[in-house]
Chain A
Amino acid sequence: MKLIDQIWAFFASVQLAILTLCSIAVTSIIGTIIPQGEPYTFYVTKFGTKTATLFQVLDIHKMYSSWWFYGLLGMLSINLIICSLDRIPSVWRIITADNLAISLDRIEKIASLRRWELPQEKSNSIDWQSVLSNTGWSFQTKKCGQTILSFSQKGRWSRMGVYVVHLSILIIFFGAIIGHFFGFKGSVMIPEMRSTEQIFSSPDSKPIDLGFTIRCDSFAIEFYDNGMPKEYRSGLSILENGQEILQKDIRVNSPLSYRGITFYQSSYQAHQEFLLQITETDSGASRQFSLPFQKQESWKERNLQFGIINAEATGQRALRSKLWLKAGDGPAITQWLADSEDFSFTGDGKNYSLKVKQLYSTGLQVAKDPGVWIVYFGCSLLLLGLYMAFFLSHRRIWLYKHKAATSSIIYFAGTANKNKAAFAKTFSKLTNLIDQTICHDLEQHN
């Protein structure tokens, strides 16, 4: 039994808490200095073979998911649980205590204390409780022989604040664990006009089936005048059994969620391929073709042949492309077109309008995290707990009246468990109020 007590005391101790917090803080620094998640050869060239091997053994290259780092977090959790369980019963006793069961010698030892001695009839004519309850304190009273004891308190639950904080940290950990085991993180690249049913888990690139289809309808990138990217936007559709269920344009900071899986705009890739949207103006018939660079394609029903024969680009982004087009047996025409610029022409007796646009793939981060709401709940609870623990205090006041032979003795006492300076002000305000009432009463009697 003694051993269990010792183990309990060890895990309940603040020393362990401080040691664990220090260890997590100090080891976390390692991970900010030594680059994480690089291949073994990276560490060999940078730190030498011996150090790289040591890193491998100690999982330094992925230290935030290493066994010893999880161990530290586990230690912190156990410490939080045991130290809270160790202390809550006594705190609970204070919260639920019968404060009317206090004796006079204990009242006399309270730091904030005032004492009055008044003639009996005077003391009887004052309604002591209502003097103080006007200031927002509500009293319980106990009579016992010649003694009347009143008690009032505020903010007793603030004593639980620190345990709310401890609990909230455990809830955040719990949410993270749920996310780790029941969720996934991955990514996928989808070219415009294509769809996919699976994504690739990061970091091991294993395919994950979504259980539905996601299609990229369009991708657009916009730039500021100075060349900085302004917006990446993907038009996405969700399909189930070939049926379109949902359509949404996503941007960075504005993802699409479906069945607990969320798609985030994260990157893009420009292809050496173009999309041609062509509409026959009279009938309204419209088709879209993908044109690999310098390959000829055709719309057979309309007897049209076309291709992109040249393009002007900065980096990967095509600014203009040169379209080659031939309708029926007419002469071929060529035309430089800016990306998505409208162009009309007549060929073989028909009017057409068209535009050419470079083909992109949208890069999506995909995440499923059923624990995230638990984490957010824990975060809210953390702020609530910190507020309770630091900004509220448990204030208690007692009014004790004892009838002696010819006079009454009044004691007024108060304590606060925190922010004693502020309580001292409150206390002196209350005693002033009592003083005033006594004076006022004296005047009336004279």
Chain B
Amino acid sequence: MDSSQLLGITTFTYLFSTLLYVFLLVFKTPRLGPITTSFTVVAFLIQTAGMALRWVESYRMGIGHAPLTNMYESVVFFSWTIIALYLVVELLFKTRMIGAFAVPLAFLAMAYASFAGNISKSISPLVPALQSNWLIAHVITCFVGYASFAIAAALGIMYLLKSRSQQNQTSFAKSRFNDLPSLPFIDDLIHKSMIFGFIWLSAGIITGAIWANSAWGTYWSWDPKETWSLITWFFYAITLHARYTRGWTGRRIALLAIFGLISVLFTYYGVNFLLSGLHSYGSSS
């Protein structure tokens, strides 16, 4: 058993987990709930084992480093963080319905990591610039932020579906989503996930700056990746200001959560392929 097999299995278990959550949502079978959650936890543990094994394998190759260094590893870690955060949300707020919206994102990330032709799965040694403890701090802080924004966007989609179905006249459409948490609850949770993500994104930008300063003597160089992370930061700062001082809630915030994730994904992914800069791990591997 090697790490790529375990991570390959993870892709399918997350798909199955997604199907279970959607089944739960559509057919309203609460008895399946604990099974769904347990299954997701098992899938998450398989992924954790896969990542740990990959770490061990890198040491066996004599180039030991945390599995957080190229596009493949970061996408795997992104899906891992989404599931970890989602499970915390499920535990804290005692609702499984969010799973039908959040878990698919983790599945999509794993599916992309497993099947996309343009990212390499091989464990490669670290170039000198990446040999720093700030690497781990930077990647973890950024991805906790990204995962939190992903969950905010999943909740945003959920909010829009529910609010549309409530306006709908047919009782069928209405009843399909009436098991979902109430709109004010979703709205509050979107806000909380955005705040949580915002703090971690701030920490991610700061750790990145400290790292850049220890490697090159410049904590900020307006490299495209840095600039886009700042743009994303501004996006959420504006959204939080609009909520606090203009009282924006509901559909507007839900939409902004979805747009926010698009900005996050562009910062994370698009910049590597479309714009050149220091974080070129996407295009080079």
A→B interface (CB under 8 Å): 14, 17-18, 21-22, 24-25, 28-29, 31-33, 36, 64, 176, 185, 224, 226, 228-232, 251-255, 262, 264-266, 365-367, 369, 372, 375-376, 379, 382-383, 386-387, 390, 421
Query: Which of B16-24, B29-37, B41-49, B128-136 participates in binding chain A?
Result: B128-136
Instruction: Indicate which residue in A31, A251, A382, A390 contacts B227 across the interface (CB closer than 8 Å).
Output: A31
Cβ–Cβ < 8 Å partners of B211 in chain A: 253
Instruction: Indicate which residue in B128, B210, B218, B241 contacts A230 across the interface (CB closer than 8 Å).
Output: B128
SS class of chain B's interface: helix, strand, loop or mixed? Answer: helix
**Complexed CA–CA distance, A25 and B234 (Å):** 6
**B238→A185 contact, CB < 8 A:** no
**Interface residue? B275 (CB, 8 A):** yes
Cβ–Cβ < 8 Å partners of B202 in chain A: 382-383, 386
Some 26 contacts from A to B, beta carbons below 8 A apart, are A14-B245, A17-B241, A21-B234, A21-B237, A25-B230, A25-B231, A29-B231, A31-B222, A31-B227, A32-B275, A33-B275, A224-B63, A228-B124, A251-B131, A252-B215, A253-B214, A255-B217, A264-B215, A264-B217, A375-B209, A376-B210, A379-B206, A382-B202, A382-B206, A383-B199, A383-B202
Cβ–Cβ < 8 Å partners of A25 in chain B: 230-231, 234-235, 238
Knowing A18-B238, A21-B237, say if A229 contacts B128 (CB, 8 Å).
yes
Knowing A21-B238, A32-B271, A230-B125, say if A390 contacts B217 (CB, 8 Å).
no
**Interface residue? B198 (CB, 8 A):** yes
**B206→A18 contact, CB < 8 A:** no
**Complexed CA–CA distance, A226 and B202 (Å):** 37
Cβ–Cβ < 8 Å partners of A14 in chain B: 241, 245-246
**Interface residue? B219 (CB, 8 A):** yes
**Interface residue? B242 (CB, 8 A):** yes
**B199→A253 contact, CB < 8 A:** no
B182 to chain A, nearest CB (A): 12
Q: Mark B207-240, 1 if CB is under 8 A from A, else 0.
A: 0011101111111101010011011001101100
**B216→A365 contact, CB < 8 A:** yes
**Complexed CA–CA distance, A255 and B212 (Å):** 12
4 closest residue pairs by CB, A with B? A367-B217, A252-B128, A32-B224, A25-B234
**Complexed CA–CA distance, A401 and B209 (Å):** 56
Interface residues on B, range: 35 or more
B222 to chain A, nearest CB (A): 4
Instruction: Indicate which residue in A17, A36, A372, A383 contacts B213 across the interface (CB closer than 8 Å).
Output: A372
Cβ–Cβ < 8 Å partners of B203 in chain A: 383
Cβ–Cβ < 8 Å partners of A232 in chain B: 128
Q: Mark B49-75, 1 if CB is under 8 A from A, else 0.
A: 000000000000001000000000000
B80 to chain A, nearest CB (A): 24
A164 to chain B, nearest CB (A): 13
A279 to chain B, nearest CB (A): 32
**Complexed CA–CA distance, A33 and B271 (Å):** 10
**A252→B129 contact, CB < 8 A:** yes
**B188→A421 contact, CB < 8 A:** yes
**Complexed CA–CA distance, A365 and B216 (Å):** 7
B91 to chain A, nearest CB (A): 16
Cβ–Cβ < 8 Å partners of A375 in chain B: 209, 219
Q: Residue of A at shortest CB range from B125?
A: A224
**Interface residue? B127 (CB, 8 A):** yes
| Known A25-B230, A176-B220, A421-B188; 5 more pairs at CB < 8 Å | A32-B228, A253-B132, A253-B215, A366-B217, A383-B203
Q: Residue of B at shortest CB range from A169?
A: B237
Cβ–Cβ < 8 Å partners of A264 in chain B: 215-217
Q: Residue of B at shortest CB range from A264?
A: B217
Cβ–Cβ < 8 Å partners of B210 in chain A: 376, 379
**A231→B216 contact, CB < 8 A:** no
